Amino acid sequence: MFFSLTAMADSADERVAELQTAWAKIKYRTPEKQQAAQFSELIGQAQAATAAYPQSAPVWVWSGIIRASYAGAKGGLGALSAVKAAKSDLEQAIAIDGSVLDGAAYTSLGSLYYQVPSWPIGFGNDKKAESFLRKGLEFGAKDVDANYFYADYLFQKKNYAQALEYLHRAEQAPTDPQRPVASEGRLGEIKSLQAKIQQEMH
């Protein structure tokens, strides 16, 4: 039994690595107009992964991130069903083990809560956003994404000084050598948000 479980974990990890790599290429290396169609295809692969590894929290996290990215690329009211599916995937990851990937499920769920419109259109809720983002930071105090998304949330709230503080932490975060495209892309987003905040403060 032990052998089969570790063998399963290995291949679930491989699926996660494949999904991460494909996601980064679409998000940071693909023209914006082509992103929705490519993310839509990647959702199919993520669904296959969650079907194959229903007990793998990281697989559910990445399925949720991919759906959320698809919704962001698609935009408009048509994206709401994808956002709700992303929320459901991330909640499933938390139900299995919310601590995986430095609390990425909490961070991603928090980012949905502040980016999605509030009721009656969507489920957006700033209090829940802050609560989930802070929970993500509990598991990923040095994680680039946990710090970046909390900084972005603070920026939306016009809390510029604190936002810069968390951006600085995001910038100092250790990069993942396995994910060079994602690391480089996120660093670009950090610099861009820093510039926006500096503009607002002057």
Of residues 78 and 149, more confidently modeled: 149
Question: What confidence score (pLDDT) does residue 7 get?
Answer: 47
Q: Residue 180 above 60 pLDDT? A: yes
Model confidence at 41, in pLDDT bands (50, 70, 90)?
very high
- Predicted TM-score (pTM) of this structure: 0.92
Question: What confidence score (pLDDT) does residue 78 get?
Answer: 84
- Report, as an integer, the average pLDDT of 77-98: 95
Model confidence at 25, in pLDDT bands (50, 70, 90)?
very high
Question: What confidence score (pLDDT) does residue 77 get?
Answer: 83
Query: What distance in Å separates the CA atoms of residue 118 and residue 98, rounded to the nearest whole number?
Result: 24
Domain 1-140 in CATH 3.40.50.300? The answer is no
Nearest to 186 by CA among 200, 169, 202, 198: 169
Chain segment 110-137, per-residue pLDDT in tens: 999 999 988 888 899 999 999 999 999 9
**Average confidence score pLDDT of the chain:** 92
Model confidence at 6, in pLDDT bands (50, 70, 90)?
very low
Query: What distance in Å separates the CA atoms of residue 115 and residue 139, rounded to the nearest whole number?
Result: 22
Q: Calculate ∠ Cα 185-187-192, nearest 5°.
A: 95
Question: What confidence score (pLDDT) does residue 26 get?
Answer: 97
Distances (CA, A) of 46 to 22, 35, 96, 195: 11, 16, 17, 34
Model confidence at 202, in pLDDT bands (50, 70, 90)?
confident
Longest dimension (CA), the chain: 62
Question: What confidence score (pLDDT) does residue 119 get?
Answer: 86
